[in-house]
Structure 1
Amino acid sequence: MITEPDLTGDERAQLNGFLNLLRDAVLRKSDGLTDEQARRRLVPSELTTIAGLLGHLCYVESYWFAVVLDGRPDPWAAALTEDGDAEFRRAMDIPLVRLRAEYERQCRLSREIAAKLDLADEVPFRDGRKVNLRYVLIHLIEETGRHAGHLDLLRELIDGRTGE
């Protein structure tokens, strides 16, 4: 069942609602596939696969919420210095069931971290700048929405499944 964002909620409820709707779409679009289907290359980019996109979205959730907002060490820093697409490549060797569980776990952690902050709370970012929770939520809506669209197309090419 799809949970639509609150039509009359406050800013935080609506931001969280849209991000959660998109997170659910990512999981729906990857549900019921085999590992082979999740790794299948259907477009010229070798990295644009269902598995690769799930790996990337796990990283994005971890980076913005755990690393940036919660100040935790970035477990991907070294790998991404050597290969800017490491999270896509790593995902190609992980069973889909594990990728989905990792994404769900990371989304839960992201929600917990966000719940401790006000939208305007600022944390240090790069180059002496600051970032707040509002920016991170909006950015994750954009990022997750873009990749949910990729997943829509890949899923349709794999088995014809369309719709939310």
Structure 2
Amino acid sequence: MGLVKHVASVELGYFGDTFGRPFFDAGPPSWWYTEESEPNSDMWATADESREHIVGLYRQAWEHSNSTIATLTLDAIGHVPWWPEERREVTLHHILVRVISDTQRHAGHADIVRELIDGSVGYLQGKDNMPPEDQAWWEDYRSRLERVAREVNG
């Protein structure tokens, strides 16, 4: 849930605050990026934040993002408040690329977590796009990759 909350906060910040379209009318929640907030507070769900709440937040974030994208042109100028002054000015195009990159990276993180939970790998159940090798082959393959990595970083 922390990844979903984080992706929502990234979209709300970049497609909201950056372009003068803040999402939070009554002020940001305690986990929002402020001088007072705990570092990484958007990266985990608190005990009182239900799955429904966080998924709902993300749905609202993507609606807010879609509205910004539909309203502005790709060359629209925004200012990222949390970046250094000399780099704050950006275009919507720049932010789209940045957010797509951030989201795909976190989708990869979520896929790794899913693989650890359910033990499956690949694209789809029954269509995993993985080489059709047995468990022994995969263990040898993994050992070989780990050995090479250790040699390189050794």
**TM-score band, normalised by the shorter chain?**
0.5 to 0.7
Kindly provide the CA deviation profile for residues 38-60 of structure 1, in whole angstroms up to 9, marking residues without a partner as x.
xxxxxxxxxxxxx1111111110
Mapped to 2, the partners of 1:161 and 1:107 lie a distance apart of 29
Which of 35, 39, 64 in structure 1 is aligned with 2:14? 64
The answer to whether the aligner puts 1:111 opposite 2:66 as a matched pair is: yes
The answer to whether the aligner puts 1:142 opposite 2:142 as a matched pair is: no
The answer to whether the aligner puts 1:131 opposite 2:131 as a matched pair is: no
Say whether the 8 Å CA contact 1:68–1:125 is kept in structure 2: yes
Aligned residue pair count: 112
The answer to whether the aligner puts 1:97 opposite 2:36 as a matched pair is: no
Mapped to 2, the partners of 1:161 and 1:99 lie a distance apart of 26
Larger RCO (CA within 8 A; separation ≥ 6): 1
1:69, distance to aligned residue in structure 2 (A): 1.6
Q: Quick one: structure 1 residues 63 and 101, their matched pair in 2 at CA, closer, same or farther if it must change by over 3 Å?
A: same
Mapped to 2, the partners of 1:161 and 1:103 lie a distance apart of 26
Q: TM-score, normalised by structure 1?
A: 0.60
1:124, distance to aligned residue in structure 2 (A): 3.1
Could you say what the CA RMSD is over the residues aligned between the two structures, in angstroms? 2.1
Aligned to 2:113: 154
Structure 1: 5+ residue stretches without partners: 1-50
Mapped to 2, the partners of 1:119 and 1:142 lie a distance apart of 17
Aligned to 1:121: 76
What secondary structure is seen at the aligned counterpart in 2 of 1:123? strand
Identity of aligned residues (%): 29
Structure 2: 5+ residue stretches without partners: 125-154
Largest Rg, 1 or 2? 2
Question: Partner letter of residue 6 of structure 2?
Answer: H
Q: Quick one: structure 1 residues 82 and 98, their matched pair in 2 at CA, closer, same or farther if it must change by over 3 Å?
A: closer
Q: Going by fraction, where is helix more abundant, 1 or 2?
A: 1
Mapped to 2, the partners of 1:160 and 1:92 lie a distance apart of 27
1:111, distance to aligned residue in structure 2 (A): 0.5
Say whether the 8 Å CA contact 2:9–2:42 is kept in structure 1: yes
